[in-house]
Structure 1
């Protein structure tokens, strides 16, 4: 069994209201040095594949079809 971790983030230039809310809240808590926050998501998958190349190819297809909105999000796949 293999594990995959997918990190999905909004692309640079796409408005991130959740990240901006976190940045503002950090400032209100006294953390004034934070100039920007980007919020994303991490998806962990347990895979039946035994080939790392096959696993990465399958997870990439999953990202393109479901896990990421590739119009506004980028993603990174890590296979362990």
Structure 2
């Protein structure tokens, strides 16, 4: 079983990487981009039957800094990706 963990900065937290991407897009001539927020995607290959609580614990204890980041878990059961 696979799980994807999407990690994003909480609203109001400064995002220097997002600002750098925004500036680079403008420099390349891409207009109309009002703001950029960068995040992380982590894919986990897990044993079948791994409980949601265990995945949440992984996020809270290691994968995300819950003081400044939010996370969202997406299970990919049966996916051949």
Tell whether the structures are fold-level matches, with TM greater than 0.5. Answer: yes
Give distance in 1, aligned partners of 2:32 and 2:41: 25
Question: Could you tell me which residue of structure 2 aligns to residue 67 of structure 1?
Answer: 63
Residue 40 (structure 1) shift: 0.4
Q: Stretches of 4+ moved more than 3 A in 1?
A: none
Unmatched runs of 5 consecutive residues or more in structure 1 = none
1:44 and 1:57 map into 2 onto residues whose CA distance is 17
Q: C-alpha separation between the residues in 2 aligned to 1:40 and 1:13? A: 14
The whole-number CA distance in structure 1 between the counterparts of 2:49 and 2:54 is: 12
Q: What secondary structure sits across from 1:77 in the alignment?
A: strand
**Hey, which of these two has a bigger chunk of helix by percent?**
1
2: CA distance, partners of 1:58 / 1:3: 14
CA distance in 2, matches of 1:75, 1:38: 14
1:22 maps to which residue? 21
